[in-house]
Structure 1
Amino acid sequence: MSGEFDHIVWRSPTGEILSCVEKIKVMRENLEELKQMAQDAMEDALLMGGDEHQVRQVLHELVDSLINPYPDAE
């Protein structure tokens, strides 16, 4: 299965390459879902007359606001 996110080499906080196939699959699927949801939000905003630049800015701010619930795991 080849996808848009297959090229990403996932690493641990110490820089080691993650090699677990199932973990990589879950991360890829999560990114695919996020991208589709963001695309849907963009399209809805544009159809309702929203500004593309503002939607992109809000999406960036959303990602920047994500919180690591496992800070001790790093």
Structure 2
Amino acid sequence: MPPMPKWFDADGEPVSCTEKIKVMQQNLQELHEMAQEALEDAVLMGCTETQVKDYLRLLMDSLENPYQN
């Protein structure tokens, strides 16, 4: 898993709350583990690594922010 970036709020200020950062890291760790398992399963079933990774990128791009103004 790549190293976590420094997180910033909408105003460009660093997110400094330890609990918020901890939750973010846990969520992204879980997401990484699930994506890794999905990739491994797909490859074992005969799918190509490239196709699965391309779809995972599309999946991420399709996420919507429910809190937009």
Greater relative contact order structure (CA < 8 Å, 6+ sep): 1
TM-score bracket for the superposition, by shorter chain length:
over 0.9
When the two structures are superposed, what TM-score results if normalisation uses the length of structure 2?
A: 0.94
Q: Structure 1: which 4+ aligned runs deviate by more than 2 Å?
A: none
Indicate which of 34, 38, 47 corresponds to 2:35: 38
Q: What amino acid is the match of 2:56?
A: L
Alignment of 1:2-41 (within 5 A): 5=3, 7-41=4-38
Structure 2 match to 1:52: 49
When the two structures are superposed, what TM-score results if normalisation uses the length of structure 1?
A: 0.87
Q: What amino acid is the match of 1:33?
A: E
Count of aligned pairs between the two proteins:
69
Any stretches of 5+ residues in structure 1 without a counterpart?
none
Identity of aligned residues (%): 52
Aligned CA-pair RMSD: 1.4
